[in-house]
A and B are shown apart, each in its own frame.
Chain A
């Protein structure tokens, strides 16, 4: 079943008076539980595609569906709601909130959702921190953790609200290869355990090896789309 779907999506950017095409008519469907990698050289449109999947940007043309809802023409407030309910992000530079502890960083999206009570929230946070293997670091702040540990917190933060899709923009780019591989293994493990869809961008062959589906972009078009 399709969880994210794009139909003839075009995205152009304006650089001064010049219109620069980033995506040129992309149509693609990401299935529930996919562990998909978007690969391609710099400027091929990976980040643009990921931003559109993540409702961080709007297409110039075409339609995008998230969990069967057309999000192409929603207002920024409505897009924030869609992101809040369905999507999570893992960033290349971790982007944890430096003044909050690991526990509080993971708790943050649950507070934005305003769903769970304090006790329930605390249990959910500790459970996911344990699953990503850093329960003992719950009270540490980001500057007291290594890059790999911070990315684990970021993964826990992404998964704690049980999103339909986790989007990761080059999640291992700021990590050494050993730690990067550990992070990918963890993401794959969480994908298999929770059936959460993962879409991540990369140009690292090692990362591509872990993907169960590899979508290659070139000049804003899909060059290939293979299941591994």
Chain B
């Protein structure tokens, strides 16, 4: 009976109830959408970091990471082949390759642009990375030919395309100046700003020769069969390869991981906002209902209804408004999220102006279905609404029957 009474009571003032649950619903829908968007960006960023920048695990020479901002060439792995041979046979390893990362200034003779040079082994780079699949015009590197591939956006900035030449200005391992003229063989579109906006990819042998690196590389990159085992594999390599530094993609992509953590604070803030909306909306609605129904409360008390039952009735009303808000909010959130997941949002119009903010997104980013967040939003809507009803419900229950019955 209390359920029936509470349910009918919330429709006594439909507009008021509607506005209250609509506020909760919009808050929850917003929570679901923001979470979907940010989780989607997180996942895409993590995927791009792994697929284009880090692989699952990297091996460096000891001391490299202390100075990694400067991409030092003198802290390199002198003889990578035995290490690669040893790691390659591990059953956990899906692919392995090696690279040299180095600072460059890219020039067309008129304009110059600071960028990162990445010398890759065209034969086995795709065992770990997906650069080859990201070529949208021309071809990927092959063998030792003196060519480069670079991001489509970077090429546009220089007004060049496949077949044109650009000059890489850099310093060798021994800090002497070096200029390399390379023909553009292909253009990349990875949606990773670190690649599309600022990376020039050349063949490893060309890099080694130009940078006077001989056989050395700055890193060995590993792809695992089971990505969830990165930490265990890192610990294992640490034991097997003393004198080298091993890092997982999470260690290396600290910026993206930090943003993902900040995102959790963001969704927490939205949830807190929903709490405030519910606090004000539900408290106000229940308090008004309590004052409007003082005679009724007095009559119920006169009939022997206990204070706890009166509190129960009003809390139920609050919880039901919360339930309506949760159902509406989750449905609204899910409905709006469908095109968001299917087609995504193109951030391209703003991302280039904003610059590299850590997220590996330059264009379209799709939402995701985060079932746990939808369930959290649903339950939170009801629980928060019920909790915020307790105070006005207690106010209602404390009315003395005689005083309540006197009121018109």
Contact = CB atoms under 8 A, between A and B. Distances in A.
A51 B401 CA distance: 9
B295 A83 contact: no
Contacts of B1: 104, 107-108, 111
B271 interface: no
Contact of A109 (B295, B298, B303, B400): B303
Contacts, number: 66
Given A83-B304, A104-B4, A109-B303, 12 more contacts: A57-B400, A57-B402, A80-B304, A80-B305, A83-B302, A89-B302, A95-B296, A95-B405, A98-B296, A99-B8, A99-B12, A112-B305
B52 to A, nearest CB: 62
A145 B32 CA distance: 47
Nearest to B303: A109
A107 B303 CA distance: 12
Contacts of A97: 5, 296, 299-300
A100 B307 CA distance: 21
A93 B309 CA distance: 23
A98 B293 CA distance: 10
Given A51-B402, A111-B1, A100 B304 contact: no
Contacts of A88: 303
16 contacts: A54-B302, A56-B400, A57-B400, A77-B307, A83-B304, A84-B305, A87-B304, A91-B299, A95-B296, A98-B12, A100-B4, A107-B1, A109-B304, A112-B303, A112-B304, A112-B305
B188 interface: no
Using C-beta atoms within 8 Å of the partner chain, give the interface range for chain B.
Answer: 20 to 34
Contact of A100 (B5, B305, B306, B402): B5
Nearest to A158: B303
Contacts of B296: 95, 97-98
A216 B16 CA distance: 48
A172 B41 CA distance: 71
Interface in A66-107: 76-77, 80-81, 83-85, 87-89, 91, 93, 95, 97-100, 104, 107
A57 B403 CA distance: 10
A81 B402 contact: no
Contacts of A111: 1
B303 A56 contact: no
Contacts of A95: 295-296, 298-299, 405
Interface string B279-319: 00000000000000001101111111111010000000000
A56 B400 CA distance: 8
B301 A80 contact: yes
Contacts of B405: 56, 91, 95
Interface in B1-48: 1, 4-5, 8-9, 11-12
A225 B298 CA distance: 30
Contacts of A84: 303-305
A97 B405 CA distance: 13
Contacts of B298: 95
Interface string B135-166: 00000000000000000000000000000000
Given A89-B302, A89-B303, A108-B1, A56 B295 contact: no
B284 to A, nearest CB: 20
A57 B301 CA distance: 12
A89 B405 CA distance: 12
Would you list the 4 A-B pairs with minimal beta carbon distance, nearest first?
Answer: A84-B304, A99-B8, A95-B299, A83-B304
Nearest to B9: A99
B344 to A, nearest CB: 47
